[in-house]
């Protein structure tokens, strides 16, 4: 199968979001069984909520989250799109299953794992690539509306928020969920299906 025959998937994520992490692991599992051409994009929960009335505890999370999104945006601009997914994997593994809340530990280790210069750490505290980061964010969120979050997925141009899942299904179950989600999302008049979350994210160790 050629690249033009593969299913085009665009995935927008904030590295700090555990639910986006779960969904990204699911998409990675589906890609083992289906011919997906996935392009990974940065989005920002800090940007999404900058004009919203949110709790003080949630606001306190945004500066840390913004450091990761700024870093990924800088790496994409300076080193190319091909580093976005490996860097996300390296960051997310430390943030989510690893449980680290310290970007000053997470970022250097992730950069080293991916083979990127340690000096890129400075971009986590720089607004130099905020324009590009915001453009990527709004490219994703404008496809689904401002009242959702991360992740945003587009499959052959049809975009949706989520799915919010835990744990990330494997094998046949992953593919079954994929087929169902894509089928539902492709219906123009379908907007929402939801139930209350009863579990925190369950990470693979």
Per the domain annotation, does 200 fall within a domain?
A: no
Per the domain annotation, does 191 fall within a domain?
A: no
Task: State what percent of residues in the chain have pLDDT above 90.
Answer: 85
Per the domain annotation, does 88 fall within a domain?
A: yes
Average pLDDT over residues 61-71: 97
Average pLDDT over residues 191-195: 87
pLDDT of residue 41: 99
pLDDT of residue 192: 86
Q: The domain that contains 41 carries what CATH number?
A: 3.40.30.10
Task: State what percent of residues in the chain have pLDDT above 70.
Answer: 98
Q: What are the structure tokens assigned to 15, written together? A: 């590295």
pLDDT of residue 42: 98
Per the domain annotation, does 199 fall within a domain?
A: no
pLDDT of residue 193: 86
Per the domain annotation, does 66 fall within a domain?
A: yes
Per the domain annotation, does 195 fall within a domain?
A: no
For 43-63, how does the pLDDT look when each residue is reduced to its tens digit (9 = 90+)? 999 999 998 888 998 999 999
Q: What is the domain range of residue 73?
A: 7-186
Radius of gyration, alpha carbons of the chain:
17
Average pLDDT over residues 6-35: 97
In degrees rounded to 5, what are phi and psi of residue 9? -125, 130
pLDDT of residue 205: 53
For 88-112, how does the pLDDT look when each residue is reduced to its tens digit (9 = 90+)? 999 999 999 999 999 999 999 999 9
Per the domain annotation, does 205 fall within a domain?
A: no
């Amino acid at each position: 199968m050629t690249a033009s025959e593969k299913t085009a998937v665009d995935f927008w994520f904030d590295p700090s979001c555990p639910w986006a992490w779960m969904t990204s692991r699911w998409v990675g599992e589906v890609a083992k069984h289906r011919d997906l051409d996935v392009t990974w994009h940065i989005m920002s929960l800090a940007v999404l909520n900058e004009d919203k009335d949110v709790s003080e505890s949630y606001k306190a999370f945004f500066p840390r989250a913004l450091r990761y999104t700024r870093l990924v945006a800088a790496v994409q601009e300076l080193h190319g799109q091909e580093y976005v997914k490996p860097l996300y994997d390296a960051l997310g593994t430390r943030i989510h299953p690893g449980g680290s809340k310290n970007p000053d530990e997470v970022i250097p280790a992730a950069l080293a794992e991916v083979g990127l210069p340690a000096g890129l750490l400075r971009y986590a505290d720089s607004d130099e690539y905020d324009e590009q980061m915001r453009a990527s964010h709004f490219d994703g969120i404008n496809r689904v509306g401002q009242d959702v979050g991360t992740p945003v997925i587009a499959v052959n141009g049809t975009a949706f928020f989520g799915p919010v899942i835990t744990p990330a299904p494997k094998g046949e179950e992953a593919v079954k969920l994929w087929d169902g989600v894509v089928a539902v999302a492709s219906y123009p008049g379908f907007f929402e299906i939801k139930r209350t979350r009863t579990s925190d994210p369950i990470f693979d160790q």
